[in-house]
Structure 1
Amino acid sequence: MNLQLTDIIIALLLASMLYAWWRNITIREKATLSAKHHCESYNLQLLDESIAGIKWWPCWHQGNLMIKRVYKFEFSSSGVARYSGTITYLGQKQADIWLSPHDI
């Protein structure tokens, strides 16, 4: 069996796409848990028990190329009104979490 350079490149591209997809799912699950714990610490309810990715881009941080991901979620303080929040991950680490102003 003769392998061509294009076959190797295609296999590497598919493997890297599969790894990126798997990594994104892992970080999304971590972000969901972080948002849930953050809401619970302020006596808020994370609505729909889910988050949605809204931004994803490569950036330089302390001399390293990393992926910056921003996820959006909704929460409630009373069970009636919906408020939005965002959670930002830089690489594998949580960089920021923001909750919109809400009723207490």
Structure 2
Amino acid sequence: MGNLLTIFLLLLLGWFWLDSLRAREIAIGICQAACVQRDLQFLDQAVALHRLGLAWRAEGMRLRRVYRFDFSEEGLGRRNGYLVLRGLSLEELSFGLPDRTGDA
């Protein structure tokens, strides 16, 4: 019985590792596309996991990951943004910048 539990835990750990790699790749792709769309420079081509938790929704329980990333406007300075993935779907993306949709 102990061996079966050990195998199950190893399989669970392997699934979590692969799922985390896939989620990170998705987060990087979303950040790159969003930076291109807003004419920003995605710095370091990387995201960092900031928080990991569980989210309960109508479709069931999903892992909720919050990633931080750095970007730059016009190549000067460094700013922080974040992105939230629920499962492998985008829940929220924030650059902390005002929207460019209005005429100002």
Instruction: Give the TM-score normalised by structure 2.
Output: 0.90
Whole-Å separation in 1 of the counterparts to 2:55 and 2:39: 34
2:62 alignment partner AA: M
The partner residue of 2:54 within 32, 41, 58 is: 58
In the alignment of these two chains, the number of paired residues is 99
Q: CA deviation at 1:59?
A: 1.9
Gaps of 5+ in 2: none
1:70 alignment partner AA: V
Judged with a 3 Å threshold, the aligned counterparts in structure 2 of structure 1 residues 62 and 38 are, in CA distance, closer, same or farther, namely same
Among all aligned residue pairs of Structure 1 and Structure 2, give the percentage whose two residues are the same amino acid: 23
Matched position secondary structure for 2:77:
coil
2:38 matches 1:42: yes
Gaps of 5+ in 1: none
Partner of 1:92: 88
Whole-Å separation in 1 of the counterparts to 2:76 and 2:39: 14
Partner of 1:7: 3
Whole-Å separation in 1 of the counterparts to 2:38 and 2:29: 15
Q: CA deviation at 1:63?
A: 5.1
Whole-Å separation in 2 of the counterparts to 1:55 and 1:23: 15
Instruction: Give the TM-score normalised by structure 1.
Output: 0.90
Residues 21-52 of structure 1, C-alpha deviations (whole Å, 9 max, x = no match)? 11001010110010010010000000011010
Tell me which stretches of 4 or more aligned residues in structure 1 moved more than 4 Å.
Answer: none
Partner of 1:24: 20
Q: CA deviation at 1:81?
A: 1.0
Rg comparison, structure with higher value: 1
Whole-Å separation in 2 of the counterparts to 1:72 and 1:61: 23
Q: CA deviation at 1:71?
A: 0.2
Matched position secondary structure for 1:82:
strand
Whole-Å separation in 2 of the counterparts to 1:101 and 1:95: 18
